[in-house]
């Protein structure tokens, strides 16, 4: 389990869990679950288009992911964000279907793009993902305070002169970058599950923002490690275990939260508590 | 007219079936969609297509009726989302995401088991993308009956549904069971989405659910006219898309033809963008973007909402 090609699986899984845990913390905080689902899923169309005109699929993926992030952010200023995200997603999927109809070579790769194959990673694929992961983490560290304030208390953010639209654009581009490089390797499903379940569970356990982020990474790491080990033993897809374990974490978190609020006297919402803890 | 209708369009049986099934699902989707957009549940509406697909792949593996799988899977998923979700819109999206992740994981497992037992990799694409031109004539009665059922349920609950969508507090104060109304709506949406996913594919399911409804809500002033306009837009888009897709196999330089989903989605997207053009709206703060329930895209509904629009 810890030799040969499996080493790469452990390495890539760890990188993806750290990046997914941190990015996902903000995804859950900002209520951007739909965007986090739409961007990596729709970006596959870019890969299909790239293979049609004969350029690198990664270039197509990146172009479509960043393009989708920009389109969603800009159109959301004048329309409902959930409607805009849904329409941008189906537009990209339809483009992908159109690209696919013009070629016959691409078909088996759809499956691997959606569900990924973390057990078949090569050394060459790890370095770019690690580099991009570091870039995303550094960008999030620089944006940490404005992101937190604009997510939790938008009025104060605007009163302080923070440009919430620019922050939103920057954040969605970070989501796009974080997902693009990982999608061909681990699949859109796995990265999405890691970005939602662990952070949502972590927020149930603590109301302090920094602690919740660390908890999110820890839960994501445990999830991916258990998933890789069980997938190795059973030969079933890794994405299945990640999806189900993430959901279980969320269930445990919600049970814990309702138990602890029943035990204590209710003291305002979790959001307000974490605001007072961070400001 | 010859430039629009290529030879054999009206005599083709698959085209006729596609037009009929497409029109029925478009009307049902558009009606459900108006409430989906007002309630800001586009994510759930889209996620249910994937959840229904999981049910479909499970049915395929277990050897039971795919229709049962799609609708059963959708209903189970809708129930799970409603149970896991709480009142605030943000946490509701997270709950939707959790159910979506788990369901997609299950789909990966079923597709894996399918391919290891029967070696059909093409099944993945068929299930994921579907095609309106491969609809069988035998599905028409099922689609009609279930679609009518969904519309009847919506008509029965539309007053409490509208009130609890626009102002949950007011609805609760008037004795409406907001959670139950929400659950019934989710079930109706699950049936509608499951139906359209299997009939016209998951891409078109989301497109016809959200697109016509969102466009209609931008250009009309009352709920009734929104529903009617959305239905008309949905049917017109579907029929135009089918004609263009049929014609496209005659276009130069490729004789491959483009998929019908591409045309329908492109027309829907363009329609939504166009409907936003004449109105210059105020830029909206992120808070109201996430928490406003009462339709900013809808003038009268917005003023009736809890926060109103300034």
Q: What angle do CA A19, A20, A25 make, to 5 degrees?
A: 105
Task: Give the closest residue to A38 by CA, choosing from A75, A88, A109.
Answer: A88
Tokens 């990474």 sit at which residue?
A217
Task: Give the closest residue to A175 by CA, choosing from A60, A275, A32.
Answer: A32
Is pLDDT above 70 for A28? yes
Tokens 């027309």 sit at which residue?
B267
Q: What angle do CA B261, B108, A222 make, to 5 degrees?
A: 130
Question: B266 — contact with chain A (CB < 8 Å)?
Answer: yes
Which domains, ranges and CATH numbers included, belong to chain B? 13-302 (1.10.3470.10)
The residue of B41, B84, B97 whose CB has the most chain A CBs within 10 angstroms, and thus the best one to mutate to test that interface, is B97
Residue B147: what pLDDT?
Answer: 93
Is pLDDT above 70 for A114? no
Residues of A in contact with B99 (CB under 8 A): 247
Tens digit of each residue's pLDDT (9 = 90 or more) over B71-94 = 898 999 998 888 877 656 667 888
Tokens 């662990």 sit at which residue?
A198
Q: What percent of chain B has pLDDT over 70?
A: 76
Is pLDDT above 90 for A91? yes
Q: Are B131 and B122 in contact (CB under 8 A)?
A: no
Least confident window among A68-72, B132-136, B268-272, B282-286: B282-286
Which domains, ranges and CATH numbers included, belong to chain A? 5-278 (1.10.3470.10)
Residue scoring higher pLDDT (A122 or A215): A215
User: pTM for the whole thing?
Assistant: 0.83
For residues B137-152, one letter each, b for 16 or more C-beta atoms within 10 angstroms of the residue's C-beta and e for the rest, the string is eeeeebbeebbeebbe
CB interface of B with A, residues 75-114, below 8 Å: 84, 89-91, 93-94, 96-106, 108-109, 111-112
> Cα(A6)–Cα(A181) distance, rounded to whole angstroms?
20
Tokens 């395929």 sit at which residue?
B60
Give the up-direction half-sphere exposure of residue B116: CA atoms within 13 A in the CB hemisphere.
9
Q: How far is B65 from chain A (nearest CA, A)?
A: 23
What's the rounded mean pLDDT across residues A104-130? Answer: 66
Q: What percent of chain A has pLDDT over 90?
A: 26
CB nearest to A86's CB, from B100, B210, B286? B210
Nearest-Å Rg of the Cα atoms of chain A is 19
> Cα(B114)–Cα(B125) distance, rounded to whole angstroms?
13
Residues of A in contact with B255 (CB under 8 A): none
Question: A154 — contact with chain B (CB < 8 Å)?
Answer: yes
CB nearest to A193's CB, from B105, B121, B256? B105
Would you state the structure tokens that stand for residue A18, as one six-digit string?
Answer: 């750290």
The residue of A42, A71, A81, A97 whose CB has the most chain B CBs within 10 angstroms, and thus the best one to mutate to test that interface, is A97
CB nearest to A31's CB, from B89, B256, B268? B89
Q: Are A28 and B94 in contact (CB under 8 A)?
A: yes
The residue of B36, B77, B104, B287 whose CB has the most chain A CBs within 10 angstroms, and thus the best one to mutate to test that interface, is B104
Q: What percent of chain B has pLDDT over 90?
A: 29
CB nearest to B286's CB, from A97, A164, A247? A164
Chain A residue with the nearest C-alpha to that of B261: A94
**Max Cα–Cα distance, chain A, nearest Å:** 62
Task: Give the DSSP letter string of B133-187.
Answer: GG--TTHHHHHHHHHHHHHHHHHHHHHHHHHHHH-HHHHHHTT--HHHHHHHHHH
Task: Give the closest residue to A151 by CA, choosing from A201, A213, A194.
Answer: A213
Question: B289 — contact with chain A (CB < 8 Å)?
Answer: yes
Task: Assign B149 to helix, strand or coil.
Answer: helix
Residue B292: what pLDDT?
Answer: 37
Task: Give the DSSP letter string of B245-304.
Answer: HHHHTTSSS--S---HHHHHHHHHHHHHHHHHSS--PPP--HHHHHH--S-TT-HHHHHH
Is pLDDT above 90 for B250? no
Question: B39 — contact with chain A (CB < 8 Å)?
Answer: no
Task: Give the closest residue to B191 by CA, choosing from B292, B77, B21.
Answer: B77
Would you state the structure tokens that stand for residue A230, as one six-digit string?
Answer: 């069980």
CB nearest to B112's CB, from A196, A236, A242? A236
What's the rounded mean pLDDT across residues A158-187? Answer: 82
Residue scoring higher pLDDT (B1 or B72): B72
Q: Under 8 Å CB-to-CB from A255, ≥6 apart: which residues?
A: none
How many other C-beta atoms can be found within 10 angstroms of the C-beta atom of residue A155?
11
Residue A270: what pLDDT?
Answer: 47
Give the up-direction half-sphere exposure of residue B45: CA atoms within 13 A in the CB hemisphere.
36
Task: Give the DSSP letter string of A104-159.
Answer: SS-HHHHHHHHH--GGG--HHHHHHHHHHHHHHHHHHHHTHHHHHHHHH-HHHHHH
What's the rounded mean pLDDT across residues A157-183? Answer: 83
Q: Residue A237 has what DSSP assignment?
A: -
The residue of B215, B286, B297 whose CB has the most chain A CBs within 10 angstroms, and thus the best one to mutate to test that interface, is B286
Question: B190 — contact with chain A (CB < 8 Å)?
Answer: no
Residue A202: what pLDDT?
Answer: 92
Q: What is the 3-state secondary structure (H, E, C) of A21-43?
A: HHHHHHHHHHCCHHHHHHHHHHC
Q: Residue B135 has what DSSP assignment?
A: -
Least confident window among A180-194, B117-131, B137-151, B159-173: B117-131
Residue A279: what pLDDT?
Answer: 36
Partner-chain contact A247 B102, CB within 8 Å: yes
Residue A266: what pLDDT?
Answer: 47
Question: B185 — contact with chain A (CB < 8 Å)?
Answer: no
Q: How far is A248 from chain B (nearest CA, A)?
A: 9
Residue A273: what pLDDT?
Answer: 44
**A63 to each of A54, A59, A77, A138, B226, how far by Cα in Å?**
15, 6, 22, 21, 36
Residues of B in contact with A115 (CB under 8 A): 108, 111
CB pairs < 8 Å spanning A and B: 199
What's the rounded mean pLDDT across residues B91-101? Answer: 87
Residue A254: what pLDDT?
Answer: 86
How many other C-beta atoms can be found within 10 angstroms of the C-beta atom of residue B156?
12
Partner-chain contact A77 B46, CB within 8 Å: no
Task: Assign A103 to helix, strand or coil.
Answer: coil
Residue A144: what pLDDT?
Answer: 87
ω into B253 cis (within 30 of 0):
yes
Partner-chain contact A237 B108, CB within 8 Å: yes
CB nearest to B43's CB, from A82, A115, A155? A82
Partner-chain contact A34 B262, CB within 8 Å: no
Which ipTM was obtained for this model? 0.84
């Amino acid at each position: 389990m810890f030799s040969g090609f499996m080493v790469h699986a452990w390495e890539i899984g760890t990188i993806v869990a750290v990046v997914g845990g941190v990015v996902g913390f903000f995804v859950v905080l900002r209520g951007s679950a739909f965007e986090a689902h739409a961007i990596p899923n729709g970006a596959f169309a870019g890969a299909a288009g790239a293979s049609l005109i004969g350029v690198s699929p990664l270039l197509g993926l990146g172009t479509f992911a960043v393009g989708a992030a920009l389109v969603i952010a800009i159109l959301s200023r004048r329309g409902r964000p959930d409607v805009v995200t849904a329409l941008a997603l189906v537009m990209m999927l339809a483009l992908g279907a159109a690209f696919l109809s013009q070629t016959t070579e691409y078909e088996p790769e759809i499956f691997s793009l959606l569900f990924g194959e973390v057990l078949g990673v090569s050394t060459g694929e790890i370095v770019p993902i690690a580099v991009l992961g570091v870039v995303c983490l550094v960008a999030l560290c620089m944006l940490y305070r404005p992101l937190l304030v604009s997510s939790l208390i938008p009025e104060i953010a605007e009163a302080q002169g923070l440009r919430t639209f620019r922050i939103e654009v920057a954040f969605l581009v970070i989501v796009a970058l974080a997902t693009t490089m990982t999608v061909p390797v681990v699949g859109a499903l796995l990265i999405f599950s890691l970005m939602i379940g662990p952070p949502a569970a972590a927020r149930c356990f603590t109301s302090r923002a920094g602690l919740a982020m660390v908890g999110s990474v820890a839960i994501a790491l445990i999830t991916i490690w258990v998933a890789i080990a069980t997938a190795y033993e059973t030969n079933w897809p890794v994405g299945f275990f990640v999806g189900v374990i993430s959901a279980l974490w969320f269930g445990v978190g919600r049970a814990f939260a309702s138990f602890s609020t029943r035990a204590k006297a209710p003291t305002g919402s979790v959001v307000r508590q974490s605001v007072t803890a961070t400001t | 007219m010859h430039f629009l209708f290529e030879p054999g369009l009206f005599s083709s049986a698959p085209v006729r079936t596609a037009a009929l099934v497409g029109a029925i699902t478009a009307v049902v989707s558009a009606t459900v969609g108006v409430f989906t957009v007002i309630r800001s549940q586009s994510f759930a509406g889209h996620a249910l297509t994937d959840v229904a697909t999981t049910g479909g792949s499970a049915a395929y593996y277990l050897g039971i009726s795919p229709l049962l799988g799609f609708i059963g899977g959708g209903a189970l998923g809708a129930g799970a989302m409603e149970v896991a979700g709480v009142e605030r819109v943000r946490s509701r999206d997270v709950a939707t995401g959790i159910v979506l992740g788990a369901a997609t994981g299950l789909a990966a497992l079923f597709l894996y088991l399918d391919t290891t037992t029967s070696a059909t990799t093409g099944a993945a694409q068929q299930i994921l993308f579907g095609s309106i031109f491969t609809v069988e004539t035998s599905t028409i009665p099922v689609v009609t009956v279930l679609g009518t059922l969904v519309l009847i349920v919506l008509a029965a609950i539309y007053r409490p549904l509208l009130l609890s969508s626009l102002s949950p507090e007011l609805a609760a104060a008037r004795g409406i069971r907001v959670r139950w109304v929400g659950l019934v709506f989710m079930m109706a949406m699950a049936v509608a989405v499951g139906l359209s996913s299997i009939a016209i594919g998951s891409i078109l399911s989301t497109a016809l659910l959200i697109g016509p409804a969102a466009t209609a809500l931008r250009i009309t002033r009352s709920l009734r006219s929104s529903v009617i306009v959305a239905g008309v837009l949905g049917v017109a888009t579907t029929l135009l898309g089918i004609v263009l897709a049929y014609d496209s196999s005659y276009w130069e330089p490729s004789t491959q033809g483009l998929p019908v989903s591409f045309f329908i989605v492109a027309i829907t997207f363009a329609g939504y963008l166009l409907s936003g053009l004449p109105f210059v709206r105020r830029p909206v703060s992120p808070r109201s973007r996430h928490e406003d329930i009462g339709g900013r895209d809808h003038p009268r509904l917005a003023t009736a909402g809890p926060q109103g629009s300034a």
